[in-house]
Amino acid sequence: MDERTRGRLAALAIALASVLAALTLARPHVTPGPLMRDFEAYYSAGAAWRARADPYGTALWRYEKEVPGVRSDRFEALPFVGPPAFLPLWAALSVLPFASAAVIWTVLLMALLAAALALMLLRLHAWDPGSFLSAAALCVGFGPLTSAFALGQAAVATFALAIIAAQLFVSNIPGAGVAAFFAALQPNLWLVLLSQVRYRRVAGTLTIVVLAWLAAGLLFAGAGELRSYFGVLVAHGAAERGALIQFTPAAIAYGFGLPLGAANVLGTLAMLLAIAIWVAAMARRGLTRWWRLAITCALLPFAAPFFHEHDFVILLMPALWCLCTATKRTWALAAAATMLIGIDWLGLAQRPEALLQSALLALALLCAIFAFSDQPLTLHRFAALAGLLLLPAGLLAQHFPAPIWPDAMHGHAVAAATSMATAWNAELRAAHQIVRQPFWAVLRLMTLAGAALLAWCTIRTASRHDQMSALA
């Protein structure tokens, strides 16, 4: 066994030990409320739909307040903005007690993620026990994925199903359309599959998927409800504009103190620039399907109209691609970008008592990056420096604690006729989530800066592979 192999095994051992310590010894006290807060909305929307109530309106609260752990003495409704096509799925889960449904949903998410991870490692020719364990430790240390699991977020399912659909498209195996259809559980992340429309057969399948998605919405919600659903999305985006939970360039600019109008202009310019870069990248004929998907995933945070911390789970795919295939200099930057994205910077202010757990997960992520790759230890200084920023950020965060919905929300009444978007905006304001606070904006900017650096590394590495293919 050579020295590098021993080093990778030692790094893997430290990563696994750090994960175990973070999830047990360093685990902070459980916050009030359901463990899977976002799954609460899915589950309750299914119950509302079964009872012929409007799952997109304030009537949803009648079902959410029955979920164990939810405070029913105040209005703390969590909006449901999932597509109508999947209401029968949530209705089926809502037949069960919440705890049982949450277990089933968790197992399903874990199975989908494991399948997607296995497919990615096969495509990267890294299918061996050491690589799989290293990638698994990397996933646990990757903050957006950990956060998404804790919330029961559909973002995990969409990410995994997008990878599965891409593999089925490449392999010409039946079932790609089904995977692409269910990947639309979270439409803003489903957009990454547009990277495959260059291929005629895939474009045809995705067109059928969109039509099937609309037809299912018509069948389960009706024409009027389907039309109003798109209005719900617009209203929900407006309700969260400038909110602390948003990681868009516009929301971060607003946090720094920019007027809302100017922040929206800046966000629009960032979106147009990201789309222009994407169009230019997709125009290159030599790019493989997987690099097209990786570039699209990397640029999505700048092009999507709304983006939460757990949505950065989609960047796990380009991160793995760069860590496996980038040249030394680009690899070091990609490793640093993965650390910047993988650390839950805003969580340092929202959960100051979890600083030790955050540090252990960051250590696990750093060691997993080393164990997963074949690069010398000297190149890891960039990733280590990115991780070391956690210490001053964590100490400063003790003096700038950020509020968490709904814990920081004061009880307030909402009129029955009020729309859910209006009620949600009122809840966010009551929880002090829509404020200008530069330090919190800096914390979110750390994640977005990591995404920008990873996008650059992904495009650069993809271009190098394109040039190598042209010379072959």
Residue 380 has pLDDT above 80, yes or no: no
Please say if the pLDDT value at position 472 is more than 50: no
Which of the pair, 347 or 379, is modelled with greater confidence?
347
Q: What was the pLDDT predicted at 42?
A: 96
Q: Which of 126, 124, 12 shows the shortest CA–CA distance to 365?
A: 12
For residues 336 and 370, what is the distance between their CA atoms, to the nearest angstrom? 12
Pick from 206-220, 289-303, 355-369, 385-399 the range whose average pLDDT is largest: 289-303
Name the region of 28 (left: φ>0; alpha: ψ -120 to 50; beta: rest): beta
Q: Enter the tokens of residue 287.
A: 């790019």
- State which residues form the domain around 27: 3-471
Q: Express as a percent the part of the chain with pLDDT over 90.
A: 59
Question: In the predicted model, what is the mean pLDDT of residues 287-293?
Answer: 92
- Structure token pair of residue 384: 């280590």
The token duo for 294 is 């990786």
* Amino acid, single-letter form, for residue 75: F
Average pLDDT over residues 20-39: 81
Mean predicted confidence (pLDDT) in 319-327: 91
Q: Is the pLDDT of residue 386 over 90?
A: no
* Phi, psi of 413, deg, nearest 5: -90, 145
pLDDT at 471: 41
Residue 82 is predicted with a pLDDT of 92
CA 331 – CA 315 distance, rounded (Å): 15
Alpha-carbon distance 351 to 343, whole Å?
A: 13
Q: Report the alpha-carbon distance of residue 97 to residue 35 in Å, rounded.
A: 14
pLDDT at 470: 46
State residue 284's pLDDT score. Answer: 86
Task: Give the count of domains, the chain.
Answer: 1
Peptide bond before residue 406 is cis, with ω within 30 degrees of 0:
yes
Question: How many CB atoms lie under 10 A from the CB of residue 175?
Answer: 11
Three-state DSSP class for residue 156: helix
Lowest pLDDT segment from 5-9, 103-107, 355-359: 5-9
User: What secondary structure letter does DSSP report for 31?
Assistant: P
Position 184 pLDDT exceeds 90: yes
Whole-number pLDDT of residue 316: 96
- Find the range with the poorest average confidence among 148-152, 289-293, 418-422, 449-453: 418-422
Identify the top-confidence range among 260-264, 452-456, 467-471.
452-456
Residue 223 has pLDDT above 90, yes or no: no
Nearest to 212 by CA among 46, 171, 204: 204
The structure's pTM equals 0.93
Q: Which of 152, 156, 166 is nearest to 290 (CA)?
A: 166
In this structure, which amino acid lies at residue 65? K
* Confidence bin at 412 (pLDDT 50/70/90): low
Cβ pair 274, 304 in contact under 8 A = no
Write the CB contacts of 241 (distance below 8 Å, at least 6 apart in sequence). 250, 251, 254, 260, 264
Non-local (6+) Cβ contacts of 172 within 8 A are none
Q: Quick check: helix, strand or coil at residue 434?
A: coil
Listing DSSP states for 33-51 in one string gives S-SSHHHHHHHHHHHHHHT
